[in-house]
């Protein structure tokens, strides 16, 4: 209730009380006069009559005077309240453009100072190129953004502000004794240290793993607690096979866009060195029974129930619906699209050459935290050549007439972790960071690889469907990009996808398009290497690709990047970054 309304009510109450007191006093005096004993003295009678008239006249006059004064007071209060409200409205209208002008004036020197600071940091190599001194008065721990900033102008732009990962390592190598929590904690700690997030309550941390032990039940939260982030930072797991890292980013970026949170850290981790060991179902149940036994008799019963065959029979490492491994599935697709061994080897060699060059140029200096003695991905082979790769024997599709997929043009089992930092423009400014790129579109697709409702599609062909949908929604063509970051699960998978987009029949019958999507400029494909060279720790690949693409766009100054990742279960995750 406003102050003017409260004043009006008080005045009305006071007036009513005052009027009542005056009127009753007059009536009481009149009653006393009328009830006085009569006298025979005529003069006395006359005096009483005059007195009665005077009392009546006086009481009414006094009452009318009080009421009149009270009404005037109320009218004055109402007039003053209206004038004050009008004055506040006028001041509010004047302040808005003044505030905008002040903001614009202040931002210019801030931007100039930020640019100068960024240049100094880039030369020193101590901090990421997009980091400048943070304005501590604006951090989300000390002051929250206004409700208007979170609810107006939705959806908000979501910026990639930085990334970090540990070097990827071949399975059963340097990281053989490291757990998922160990590696994800290392990647997160590197990010927190690089961007000075100690004590920061980030909106949330979202990550996941494909291969998880029971102790990894709350993987992301446990890893976040191992960092210097504020322990009140919430964290949770997501999982979508090889698309996990990218899907985790979508989950958090959508919340940022909707104004629910202002910042997030996303990523993924996987280790095949510390993977769960699968056993036969009978042995599993016997071991559970043994663990629940309360006496020796029950323990003996559990042990004698174990069938020796269960020690041998273990679930197959393949797609549950088909029993085929991912590599054998892709070998079928490679045959369908007539992908040659030579083309696959060429792509693999190019990946190694590009990654080696990027390391030499220092591209990954502010994207990688050394871990357990490694400073580079140990799957990298800078001296890789077509002649060397030609000597390798096929490892997938061996039953095919002409198998083409080898260990060199397929990704090896790998251990590693990665993460990226996301935020709004306002959050970035408050923390002295410059956006590297923005996540502007995303698409997830799945294909029928089991022939449930028609012809079977290749297990890893979902990105071929996701990208055209995303392009249509964005109003773009396949050629409208400066960089193409396509996950190299297998060289033949990348080449099959590119061939499908060039194929008129596929684009018309499978995608419902009037014409093929066309070809891409291969010189823009995975320009700093990809999974064939770096390795592929399943859930960690998304974070690696996001950070790489964002930095490429930032270095260029403007442009677009297309990201595509295939995943088990016939799924694909894609997105578009812009600068």
Tell me how far apart the alpha carbons of residues 233 and 292 are, in angstroms, rounded to a whole number.
37
Which string of b and e fits 305-340 if b means at least 16 CB within 10 Å? ebeeebeeeeeeeebeeeebbbbbbbbbbbbebebe
Q: Which of 352, 419, 431, 566 is catalytic?
A: 566
Q: Which two tokens stand for residue 454?
A: 């028609």
Q: Which two tokens stand for residue 206?
A: 């979202």
Residue 575 bears catalytic tag: no
Q: Which of 352, 431, 487, 536 is catalytic?
A: 536
Tell me how far apart the alpha carbons of residues 40 and 199 are, in angstroms, rounded to a whole number.
101
Residue 329 bears catalytic tag: no
Do 478 and 467 touch, CB atoms closer than 8 A? Answer: yes
Maximum C-alpha span of the chain: 149
Question: Before 47, cis peptide (omega within 30)?
Answer: no
Place of tokens 């004993």: 37
Q: Which of 242, 419, 507, 575 is catalytic?
A: 242
Tell me how far apart the alpha carbons of residues 420 and 429 are, in angstroms, rounded to a whole number.
17
Residue 507 bears catalytic tag: no
Closest of 271, 265, 225, 230 to residue 245, by C-alpha:
265
Tell me how far apart the alpha carbons of residues 537 and 418 are, in angstroms, rounded to a whole number.
9
Beta bridge partners of 58: none
Q: How far is CA 34 from CA 20, 169, 292, 403, in A?
A: 21, 114, 103, 128
Q: Which two tokens stand for residue 259?
A: 């104004």
Q: H/E element holding 170?
A: strand 169-170
Q: Provide φ and ψ at 384, rounded to 5°.
A: -60, 140
Beta bridge partners of 169: 415
Do 265 and 188 touch, CB atoms closer than 8 A? Answer: yes
Give me the active site residues, please.
Answer: 242, 536, 566
């Amino acid at each position: 209730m406003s102050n003017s309304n409260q004043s009006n009510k008080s005045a009305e109450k006071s007036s009513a009380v005052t009027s009542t007191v005056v009127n009753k006093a007059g009536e009481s005096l009149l009653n006393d006069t009328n009830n006085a004993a009569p006298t025979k003295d005529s003069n006395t009678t006359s005096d009483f009559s005059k007195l009665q008239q005077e009392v009546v006249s006086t009481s009414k006059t006094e009452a009318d005077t009080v009421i009149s004064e009270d009404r005037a007071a109320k009218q004055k209060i109402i007039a003053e309240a209206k004038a004050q409200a009008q004055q506040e409205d006028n001041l509010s209208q004047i302040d808005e453009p003044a505030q905008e002008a002040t903001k614009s004036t202040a931002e210019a020197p801030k931007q100039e100072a930020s640019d100068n600071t960024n240049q100094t940091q880039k030369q020193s190599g101590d901090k990421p190129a997009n980091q400048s001194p943070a304005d501590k008065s604006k951090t989300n721990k000390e002051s929250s953004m206004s409700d208007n900033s979170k609810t107006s102008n939705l959806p908000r732009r979501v910026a990639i502000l930085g990334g970090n990962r540990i070097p990827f390592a071949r399975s059963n190598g340097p990281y053989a004794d490291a757990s998922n929590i160990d590696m994800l904690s290392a990647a997160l700690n590197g990010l927190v240290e690089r961007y000075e997030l100690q004590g920061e309550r980030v909106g949330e941390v979202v990550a996941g793993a494909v291969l998880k032990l029971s102790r990894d039940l709350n993987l992301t939260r446990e890893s976040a607690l191992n960092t210097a982030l504020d322990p009140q930072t919430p964290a949770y797991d997501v999982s979508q096979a090889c698309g996990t890292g990218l899907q985790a980013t979508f989950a958090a970026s959508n919340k940022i866009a909707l104004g629910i949170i202002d910042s997030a850290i996303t990523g993924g981790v996987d280790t095949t060195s510390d993977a769960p060991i699968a056993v036969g179902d009978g042995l599993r149940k016997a071991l559970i029974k043994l663990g629940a036994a309360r006496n020796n008799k029950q323990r003996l019963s559990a042990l004698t129930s174990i069938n020796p065959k269960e020690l041998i029979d273990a679930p197959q490492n393949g797609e549950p619906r088909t029993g085929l491994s991912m590599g054998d599935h892709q070998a079928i697709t490679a045959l369908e699209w007539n992908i040659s061994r030579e083309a696959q080897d060429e792509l693999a060699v190019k990946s190694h050459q590009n990654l080696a060059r990027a390391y030499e140029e220092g591209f990954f200096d502010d994207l990688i935290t050394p871990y357990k003695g490694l400073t580079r991905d140990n799957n990298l082979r800078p001296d890789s050549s077509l002649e060397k790769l030609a000597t390798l024997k096929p490892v997938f599709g061996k039953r095919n007439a002409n198998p083409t997929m080898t260990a060199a043009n397929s990704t090896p089992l790998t251990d590693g972790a990665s993460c990226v930092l996301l935020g709004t423009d306002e959050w970035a400014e408050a923390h002295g960071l410059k956006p590297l790129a923005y996540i502007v579109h995303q698409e997830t697709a799945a294909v029928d690889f089991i022939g449930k409702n028609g012809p079977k599609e290749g297990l890893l062909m979902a990105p071929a469907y996701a990208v055209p949908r995303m392009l249509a929604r964005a109003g773009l063509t396949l050629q409208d990009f400066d960089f193409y970051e396509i996950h190299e699960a297998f060289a033949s998978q990348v080449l099959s996808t590119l061939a499908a987009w060039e194929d008129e029949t596929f684009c018309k019958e499978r995608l419902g398009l009037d014409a093929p999507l066309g070809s891409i400029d291969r010189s823009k494909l995975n320009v700093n290497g990809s999974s064939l060279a770096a390795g592929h720790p399943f859930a960690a690949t998304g974070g690696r690709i996001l950070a790489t693409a964002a930095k490429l766009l930032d270095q260029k100054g403007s442009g677009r990047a297309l990201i595509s990742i295939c995943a088990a279960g016939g799924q694909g995750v894609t997105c578009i970054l812009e600068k």
